Chains A and B, each alone.
Chain A
Amino acid sequence: MDKKIVVMLLCVISFISFSELALAHGEKAQQAGLRMRTMNWWDLEIYPKKVAINEVVTVKGKFSPSIWWPRHMSNPEDGMAYLNVGVPGPVFVRIDSRVNGVPMIRSAQFKKGETYDFEMKLKARTPGRYHVHPVISVEGTGPIIGPAYWVEVTGDPATFENKITTLTGEVIDLETHGMPQIIGWHAFWVVIGLLWMGYWLRNYPVLMPRYKEVVRLGSKANDMITFKDMAVGIVFFGGVLMAIAGSYFWTQTQYPITTPLQTGEVEVLPLPSQGDTISLKLHKARYRIPGRSFKIEMDVTNNGDSPIRLGEFMTANVRFINKEVLGKIERQDDLDLIALEGLQVEGGPVQPGETRRITLWAEDALWETMRLTSLVYDPDSRFAAMLFFFDDEGKRYHLEVGGQMMPTFS
C-alpha cells in the first residue's frame, strides 16, 4: 500500500516536473489549414520589450486576409472584424489602435488579398511577462492570432492610473470612476432589503411556527397577515417607488448630459496595391511528412525591370528564410517562429520579362512543433502562404501562393 502511494507521488511529481508551462494563447490550437489560409501577418514589431507600469508599448505590423480563405468560414470581407490584442486580460490598457491610420475603436471590414498596416499603443498596467499577439477577431469565425513577442512589465501596479477628459470637461480616472455611486446605491438598497427582511424575520423562530400555523389554518392562512403587516407593506411599496423615482431624477440633475452606448463600424481603405510586378502560377505543392518538408513548384513571371529572388516563405506565422538572399537574421526571443535557414530555392533569379519555373523547399522542425503537419488531416488539403521576393536594390514584393497540396508519406 505504501509503495503504491510512493509510486503515485513520484508519477505526479514527474508529470509536473516535465510538463511544459502553458504560457501562450493557443497559437497551435487551430487546424493547420485554417491557420495557413486566414490571416497573413508580417513585419511585426513590438517595442520596447521591457517597460514600467504606465509606460507605453507599441505593437505594429502588416496583415492581409488570405485570398484562399476557407469558404466554410466567415471572412472579414463579408462580415465584421476587429483589431484586438492577445494578452492575458487587461494587463495593458489599449490607448490607441489604428488600421491604415483609421482609429479602430469600432469594427470594420477587410478585403481579402489586400494589405493593411496596423499599430496599437498599449499602456502597461500589471507587472509580469506577457506574450503579446496582434489578433484579428472575425465575426462568425473567432480570433485569428498573429505572431508574438515577449514583453516584460515591471513596477508597482498601485501607481497605475488611467485618466481621461470627458466631453463635459471632467477629468476622470477610469480605474475608480463611478465607484462611490455604485457602492452608495447598492448599500442603500441592501439596507432597505434588510429592513424588509428584518421586519418579517424579527420574531425568530419563524419558519416552523409559521408553517404549522399555515397548515392548521388551511384556506384561512391569510388571517396570519395582520393589519400592521399590511400597513408596513403599503409603506414599503410606496417608499420603494418613491426611492426609485427620486434616485432617477436626482441622477438626472447630477448627470444632465449622457448618451447611449455607441457602436457601429468604420471604413478602412486598404494600402495602395504594389501592382503586378510579379505574378505566379502554382504548378505543384507536395508535403513530405517524414522530412517535414514542403515543396512547391511554380512558374514566376517578373514584370519589373530588375531581377528578383525569393527570400522568404511565410505561412501560419512561421517564417522560412532563404539565407542566401536575406543573410543572417537574429531571433528576437525564444518563441520567435523563424526557421533561419529553412528555405531552399532552386531556379535562380527571375530576370525582367522572364517566366521561370522555381522550386522551393521549406524545411524545419517548426512544421512539427507548430502542429502544421496535421495539414494532411484537413478536409480539403489546401494551403496558402506568403512569398517575399526581393530585387537587386532590396525592394520587397509580397505575393500569396495557395492551392491544392498533396502529401507524400515516405
Chain B
Amino acid sequence: MSVEYIPKELPEEEHDVNEDRFVASAVKNRTEQLTAYKNIDLATIPLLFLLFGGISVFLFALTVGDWDFWMDWRDRRWWPLVTPFSLILLPAVLGVFMWNKFRLPLGATFAMMSFLAASWVSRYTNFHGFAGFPLNFVSPSTWVGLGILLDCTILVSRSWFITGFVGAFLFGLLTYTINWPIFAPFRIPVDYNDTMVTVADLMGYMYIRTAIPEYVRIIEESTLRTFGEAVTPLTAVFAGFVTILNYYLWVWVGHKVMKSRWMDKLI
C-alpha cells in the first residue's frame, strides 16, 4: 500500500543529473528512493520505540511509581485512577503525531507496546535481577489492548473529540478490567497469623522493603463508598472521565507541537 505513494516522476534508469545542475539530490532514481525510504523506516521506528519506551517508563516512575511497581499497591481505588490518567499522555501526543503526519492510527498502540517492553526490561533487571524481588510481585500491568481501542477510535471516527470521548473513556474505564486476569491470583485471601490478607499483601509483608513500610501504601483510601460495594465500577467510570480530560489536554499539546517549525524541519 505504502509503496504506491512513492512519486512516479523519478526515472527508472540512472541519469547523471550533475551534468544538468550543480546541486543534485542524493537520490537519483526510484530504486534509490525506495531504499532510502526503507532505511528511514528501519532507523526511525526502532528509535521511536526505544525513545518512547524510555520516556514512558521514566514518566510512569515519576507520576505513578510504587502504585504500579508492586502487586500489593494495585488496589481498586487509586491504581485504576492514577495510572490511566498519567499514562494517557504519550498515546495522546504520539497519536496526534502518527495520525497528522502519516495517517497511521498507531500512536497509542505503539506507545503502549514500547512502554510494555521498557517496563519488562526495567522490572526484570532492576526489581528482579538487581533487587531480588520475585518477578510475579513486580511484573508490569498490561495496556496494549487499551492502546488499540484508542487507535481504532481515531481510525473509525477521524475525530479527536470522539476519540477522546470514546477511546480515552474506555482507556480509563477498562484499565482494571483488562488487568484483572493478571491481578486475580494475587487477591486470593489468606489467613496469616490470625490476620486476613490477600496473597499480594502477604508478599508485600514477606519480601522485605526497608523503605516501604506498610502504612506508606496509599490503597483503599477515599470516600467513594456511596454505591456500597461497587467500588471498582465507580472508580472505573471516574477514571474514564478524568482520562478524557487529560487526553484532550495532551492532544491539544500534540497539535501545538505538530505546528511548530522545528517539527516540520525534523521531518
Mark A residues whose CB is within 8 Å of B: 25, 80-82, 84-87, 89-96, 103, 105-107, 125-126, 135, 137, 139, 143, 162, 164-168, 170, 172, 174-179, 181-182, 185-186, 189-190, 192-194, 196-197, 200-214, 221-222, 224-226, 229-230, 233-234, 236-237, 240-241, 243-245, 247-248, 250-252, 254-255, 257-263, 265-266
Contacts of B153 in A (CB 8 A): 237
B38 interfacial by beta-carbon distance below 8 Å: yes
Assess the B103–A224 pair: CB atoms within 8 A: yes
Assess the A182–B177 pair: CB atoms within 8 A: no
Query: Which chain B residues (133-159) contact chain A, with CB distance < 8 Å?
Result: 133-136, 139-140, 142, 144-145, 147-149, 151-153, 155-156, 158
Contacts of B215 in A (CB 8 A): 80-82, 107, 137, 139, 265
Given known contacts A178-B186, A189-B145, A251-B184, A172 and B116 CB-to-CB distance under 8 angstroms? no
11 new A-B pairs (CB below 8 Å) besides A90-B132, A137-B215? A85-B210, A94-B208, A178-B186, A190-B116, A207-B45, A208-B40, A209-B5, A212-B5, A237-B156, A258-B188, A261-B75
Query: Which chain B residues (101-115) contact chain A, with CB distance < 8 Å?
Result: 101-106, 109-110, 112-113
Given known contacts A82-B215, A192-B145, A207-B37, A212 and B7 CB-to-CB distance under 8 angstroms? yes
Contacts of B200 in A (CB 8 A): 261
Assess the A87–B103 pair: CB atoms within 8 A: no
Cα distance, A181 to B149, chains bound together (Å): 23
Assess the B199–A166 pair: CB atoms within 8 A: yes
B59 interfacial by beta-carbon distance below 8 Å: no
Assess the A103–B155 pair: CB atoms within 8 A: no
Assess the B105–A257 pair: CB atoms within 8 A: no
Q: Which 10 A-B pairs have the closest CB atoms?
A: A137-B213, A209-B5, A205-B37, A82-B213, A258-B187, A178-B185, A237-B152, A80-B215, A90-B207, A233-B155
CB nearest to B153 among chain A residues: A237
Given known contacts A162-B206, A211-B102, A262-B196, A257 and B134 CB-to-CB distance under 8 angstroms? no
Query: Which chain B residues (192-217) contact chain A, with CB distance < 8 Å?
Result: 192-203, 205-211, 213-217
**CB contact between A167 and one of B148, B191, B207 (< 8 Å): that residue:** B191
**CB contact between B103 and one of A177, A221, A263 (< 8 Å): that residue:** A221
Interchain Cβ contacts under 8 Å between A and B, 22 examples: A25-B210, A90-B131, A103-B192, A139-B216, A164-B190, A177-B199, A192-B148, A193-B144, A197-B106, A204-B2, A204-B41, A205-B41, A207-B102, A208-B36, A208-B37, A213-B5, A222-B158, A233-B155, A233-B156, A240-B148, A255-B187, A258-B184
Contacts of B5 in A (CB 8 A): 209-210, 212-213
Assess the B189–A205 pair: CB atoms within 8 A: no
Cα distance, A178 to B138, chains bound together (Å): 12
B6 interfacial by beta-carbon distance below 8 Å: yes
CB nearest to B140 among chain A residues: A186
B220 interfacial by beta-carbon distance below 8 Å: yes
Interface size grouping (class) on chain B:
35 or more
Mark B residues whose CB is within 8 Å of A: 1-7, 34, 36-38, 40-41, 44-45, 72, 74-76, 100-106, 109-110, 112-113, 116, 120, 131-136, 139-140, 142, 144-145, 147-149, 151-153, 155-156, 158, 170, 174, 177-178, 180-182, 184-203, 205-211, 213-217, 219-220, 231, 267
Assess the B189–A168 pair: CB atoms within 8 A: yes
Cα distance, A125 to B134, chains bound together (Å): 11
Assess the B181–A263 pair: CB atoms within 8 A: no
Assess the A206–B149 pair: CB atoms within 8 A: no
Assess the B2–A209 pair: CB atoms within 8 A: yes
Contacts of B177 in A (CB 8 A): 244-245, 248
CB nearest to B219 among chain A residues: A261
Contacts of A197 in B (CB 8 A): 106, 109-110, 113
Given known contacts A164-B202, A176-B136, A196-B148, A89 and B188 CB-to-CB distance under 8 angstroms? no
Assess the A244–B178 pair: CB atoms within 8 A: yes
Assess the B104–A210 pair: CB atoms within 8 A: yes
Assess the A262–B155 pair: CB atoms within 8 A: no
Assess the B188–A255 pair: CB atoms within 8 A: yes
B141 CB → nearest A CB, Å:
9
Cα distance, A221 to B189, chains bound together (Å): 55
Cα distance, A206 to B214, chains bound together (Å): 50
A187 CB → nearest B CB, Å:
10
A139 CB → nearest B CB, Å:
5
B158 CB → nearest A CB, Å:
5
Contacts of A251 in B (CB 8 A): 180-181, 184
Assess the B45–A259 pair: CB atoms within 8 A: no
Cα distance, A276 to B201, chains bound together (Å): 42
Contacts of A243 in B (CB 8 A): 145
**CB contact between A164 and one of B40, B181, B192, B231 (< 8 Å): that residue:** B192
Assess the B180–A236 pair: CB atoms within 8 A: no
Assess the B213–A233 pair: CB atoms within 8 A: no
Cα distance, A252 to B181, chains bound together (Å): 8
CB nearest to A174 among chain B residues: B203
Contacts of B37 in A (CB 8 A): 205, 207-209
Assess the A103–B103 pair: CB atoms within 8 A: no
CB nearest to A164 among chain B residues: B190
User: By CB atoms of chain A within 10 A, which of B102, B147, B186 has the most?
Assistant: B102
Cα distance, A273 to B187, chains bound together (Å): 42
Contacts of A182 in B (CB 8 A): 135-136, 139, 182
Contacts of B147 in A (CB 8 A): 193
Given known contacts A137-B213, A255-B184, A260-B76, A201 and B45 CB-to-CB distance under 8 angstroms? yes
**CB contact between A105 and one of B1, B139, B205, B219 (< 8 Å): that residue:** B205
Contacts of A139 in B (CB 8 A): 213, 215-216
Given known contacts A91-B132, A105-B195, A260-B187, A193 and B113 CB-to-CB distance under 8 angstroms? yes
CB nearest to A90 among chain B residues: B207
Given known contacts A207-B44, A257-B188, A94 and B205 CB-to-CB distance under 8 angstroms? yes
User: By CB atoms of chain A within 10 A, which of B100, B196, B203, B231 has the most?
Assistant: B203
Cα distance, A255 to B186, chains bound together (Å): 10
Assess the B206–A205 pair: CB atoms within 8 A: no
Assess the B142–A209 pair: CB atoms within 8 A: no
A82 CB → nearest B CB, Å:
4
